Amino acid sequence: MTGPAIQPRVVDISHHNSVTDLMATAGAGIWGVIHKASQGRAYVDPDYGRRRVAAFNAGLLWGAYHFNTGDPVAAQVDNFLKAAAPGHDTLLVLDFEDNRLSQMSASMAVEFMRLAESRVGRELAIYSGNRLKETIDTLSHEDAAYLASRRLWLCQYGKRAILPPHFQKWWLWQYTGDGVGPLPHAVPGIVAGNGGLDLNAYEGDRAQLMAEWAGQPLPTA
């Protein structure tokens, strides 16, 4: 037997997905969309801009993620912020996962987060699963504590969320992707490029998500 279906609240997509009707997506209980904006030092997702407009028209929260590579961090941050063109209400996320072609280290992830935050004046979130679990203890205590103080968008396909070391809670939980993990695996208005969609749970209400979405401002000196 399987347990009750999870209510997804956020969907994450890229150009690999086909988007047909974000109004239908919103009508199915989705509150936010996180879209790939960039990868490495030069790649920009070609569908990011027009889907951003469609998401706003559907009343959806909008977020941007950057897929990590081993390229120089400053060049990656430049590419991300140019591609994402963040407004004050745009969620910004580093996607720190396995990349067999060009891998970002944990120390580079910290450098990316700190540099991007200094540029936008507010906190980023970090997306990760096994990659963070396997590498966070290679960091200094200060850097590990820094990452653990940021919102965690946890990738964990299964019936329960298993946190990386040092983290006390998850913010978003990607409970399914590529058809793996608990149901549901789909929402109206978006077609997966391979298997099921990447869908994410959130434990609060819509007002809470809206308040937390863009990230807390950094303290001023």
Q: Domain segments of the chain: what residues?
A: 10-212
Q: How confident is the model over 138-175, as pLDDT tens digits?
A: 999 999 999 999 999 999 998 899 999 999 999 999 99
What is the per-residue DSSP string for 165-188? TT----SEEEEEBTTBSSSP---T
Contacts of 220 (CB under 8 A, 6+ apart): none
How many other CB atoms sit within 10 Å of the CB of residue 24? Answer: 14
pTM > 0.95: yes or no:
yes
Q: How far is CA 111 from CA 1, 18, 130, 140, 188, in A?
A: 45, 33, 20, 13, 38
Q: Which one-letter DSSP state was computed for residue 216? A: P
How many other CB atoms sit within 10 Å of the CB of residue 138? Answer: 11
Number of Cα atoms under 13 Å in the Cβ half of residue 144: 15
Domain 10-212 has CATH 3.20.20.80: yes
Please tell me the predicted confidence (pLDDT) of residue 3: 59
- Quickly state the pLDDT bin for 220 (edges 50, 70, 90): confident
Task: Give Dmax over CA atoms of the chain in angstroms.
Answer: 55
- Quickly state the pLDDT bin for 1 (edges 50, 70, 90): very low
Average pLDDT, the chain: 96
